[in-house]
Amino acid sequence: MAYTTSQPQPGGFLSRLGFGGKARSRKTAVAAEEMKRVQFTSPVLPYLFLFPQLAVIFIFFYWPSVQAVSSSFYLEDPFGFGSTFVGLSNYTDVIFSSEYQSIALFTAVFTVLVTFLSLSLGLLLAVKADRVIRGASTYKTLLIAIYAIAAPVSGLIGMMIFDQHVGPFVKMMSYFGWHMQVGLNYYDTAFAMTVVAVWKQIPYNFIFFLSGLQNVPVSVREAAMIDCRSGMRRFWTVILPLLAPTAFFLLTINVTYALFDTFGIIDVMVKDKPANNPVTLVYKVYADGFRGNDIGGSSAQSVILMIVVFVLTIFQFRFIERRVHYN
Amino acid sequence: MYRTKFSDHLVLILGSLFLCMPVVVAFMTSTHTAADIHMNGLSLAWGDNFIATYEKVLTQKGGFTGDITGARMVMNSLILGVGFAIGKILLSMMAAYAIVYFRFPMATLSFWVIFTTLLLPLEVRIMPSYQVMSDLGLLNTYSGLIVPLLASATGTFYFRQFFKSVPEELLEAARIDGAGPFKFFIDILVPISRTMIAAIFIIMFVYGWNQYLWPMMMTTDESFFTLMRGIKSILQVWVGSNIPDYNEAFALAVLAMLPPVAIVVIFQSWFIKGLTESDK
């Protein structure tokens, strides 16, 4: 099936960039590619060219990452006088704390909701945008315009829309007897956060689904048209399977988005009062380490999140394997 | 062929409204006075306080120390965005050049060392990164804001991919003409990468401009605050005030989202094409 090669390929965390050009990198995740036949040889030069990048990576990536792992096994003295090795107790403390468990549960629910809603709305809009001819480019512009707005800015806008005094959504809902109190009521805040997170992510999914749809060859569409009169069935049996690689790629991207990139939204919307508000695991890492000064516990949480990221990455690579196998 | 139905347009119109209305409301509301917003709620109509609000936000000194203006924050955001983009392009072009155009024993290892950085987002190594920065004395400096963000492989991968697509004949011809590694890099490879460099510059600029968590941790000195950091502090002032400065908060949000929105709208055909044609 030659045309499957034109589907977007899973691109790992390259795409965490938050902007469009990520597409170029999507196939770089497949590392084993042919080398250039002609190359320079030099004993020093390549290292010279690599040095700045490697230096920055070692100082600001490997060193902190190793420290995160090592300090997760230590208990830091609150006054900064040394630290004691405590083995896995930071981990057990974290995992068995009921607060952590409830935050983990919220993170899971939040991630599933955000991923599902932003994927399905993105797909719905892409399918419709793929059909219309009149006004197509206007719709496209409007639907991707907010694509690169930063998370804290969307959080701020969301807060205004859901503000108790001036928020239009809150006023509207009060006619239906729902008196929203974002920032005070746990579920109301969770609702507002989810809406904002979904809002911000729809354009991303829209762009990828639309390009996936436009890569479905006309011949396939016409053949499907002849075989099957029902538009709905055509979509489910022909178009959607062809979009599956795009959808899987977007699935991991959206999960990482909901887990990590929503930090700005959450931080702005809880307004420094996380006490009775829903927060995600990343926010907790930040709050415990930075505010609570619990370095060991925060590091243990970091390591747990690292493991989550690794699992996601493995999931993604396995998926690439399967795709390569298909071709 | 398929005949467009009214419902298709309806869905698209609703979708566009859902996505764009909040931004329009934010902008329109920012042109009203705080008291007006407090009484009448958010607005879709143009107010008459546009110049006053934005002038105040950009020039009035505020914050706890009273020496940070909105203009300063815009400048800091620009410094972060531009500095990050330039740094990223320099580092990643050089690294990608070494990996693609040189034959040396550590090539594969270096590739993987760089590649691994894609696995761990900054958010999961916040605390230790902060400690490293404070050990190095880089808190509240521009280099402390910019350099650590360069520790990721994204740019390197874009350039590696691009260099691989450059025809081999170019290097062969250059070598026949006697060009060495430096001459080939500067006189041939950099000029033909111009479009790629421009594209990456824009992407990285927005990425740097939008940074939130890192500037928030790195800067306690208000003269280094970026717009994103300013949003955080305007909210802190907000809690507990009688009539919050809704208009100023919105104006700040508008300033913060102007470059990303403008860039996406202006370059949209370019990057949608980038998406759809990248695999060919």
When pLDDT is averaged across residues B195-206 and rounded to a whole number, the result is 86
pLDDT at B252 over 60: yes
pLDDT at B56: 81
Cβ neighbours of B106 in A, within 8 Å? 46-47
pLDDT at A307 over 60: yes
pLDDT at A320 over 70: no
CB A126 within 8 Å of CB A235: no
Tokens read off for A305: 């999140």
Question: Minimal Cα distance from B124: which residue of A?
Answer: A302
- b/e code B188-221 from CB counts within 10 Å (16+ = b): bbeeebeebbebbbbbbbbbbbbbbbbbbbbbee
Is B197 touching A (CB cutoff 8 A)? no
Is B232 touching A (CB cutoff 8 A)? yes
Is B247 touching A (CB cutoff 8 A)? no
When pLDDT is averaged across residues B58-77 and rounded to a whole number, the result is 78
Place of tokens 């990590």: A260
Count of CA atoms in the C-beta half-sphere (13 A) of B222: 16
Confidence of residue A142 (pLDDT cuts 50, 70, 90): very high
User: In this complex, which of B38, B199, B235 lies closest to A166 when CB atoms are compared?
Assistant: B38
When pLDDT is averaged across residues A188-211 and rounded to a whole number, the result is 93
Global ipTM:
0.87
Percent helix, percent strand, percent coil in chain B, to nearest 5: 75, 0, 25
pLDDT at A58: 92
- SS3 readout for B95-130: HHHHHHHECCCCHHHHHHHHHHHHCCCHHHHHHHHH
- SS3 readout for B177-245: CCCCHHHHHHHHHHHHCHHHHHHHHHHHHHHHHCCCHHHHHHCCCHHHCCHHHHHHHHHHHHCCCCCCC
pLDDT at A150: 93
CATH numbers and ranges of domains, chain A = 89-326 (1.10.3720.10)
pLDDT at A3: 33
Q: What is the pLDDT of residues B83-139, one digit of tens each?
A: 999 999 999 999 999 999 998 888 888 888 888 887 777 777 878 888 888 888 888
Nearest-neighbour CA in chain B from A175: distance (Å): 16
Cβ neighbours of A90 in B, within 8 Å? none
pLDDT at B81: 94
Question: Minimal Cα distance from A27: which residue of B?
Answer: B279
Residues B15, A299: C-beta atoms closer than 8 Å? no
Residues A302, B127: C-beta atoms closer than 8 Å? yes
For the stretch B45-49, contacts whose Cβ atoms lie closer than 8 Å and that sit 24 or more positions apart, written own/partner, are: B49/B247
Confidence of residue A230 (pLDDT cuts 50, 70, 90): confident
First and final C-alpha spacing in chain B: 27
pLDDT at A17 over 50: no
pLDDT at B24: 93
Confidence of residue A28 (pLDDT cuts 50, 70, 90): very low
pLDDT at A16: 38
Mean residue pLDDT across chain A = 81
Tokens read off for A60: 């600001």
When pLDDT is averaged across residues B216-232 and rounded to a whole number, the result is 86
pLDDT at A37: 67
pLDDT at B276 over 80: no
When pLDDT is averaged across residues B210-238 and rounded to a whole number, the result is 84
Residue % of chain A over a pLDDT of 70: 83
Confidence of residue A26 (pLDDT cuts 50, 70, 90): very low
Residues of B (72-131) whose Cβ lies below 8 Å from A: 90-92, 94-95, 97-104, 106-107, 110-115, 117-121, 123-131
Q: What is the pLDDT of residues A83-129, one digit of tens each?
A: 788 888 889 888 898 889 999 999 999 999 999 999 999 999 999 99
pLDDT at A18: 35
Mean residue pLDDT across chain B = 84
When pLDDT is averaged across residues A186-208 and rounded to a whole number, the result is 93
Confidence of residue A22 (pLDDT cuts 50, 70, 90): very low
Place of tokens 């505020």: B62
CATH numbers and ranges of domains, chain B = 74-239 (1.10.3720.10)
pLDDT at B63: 59
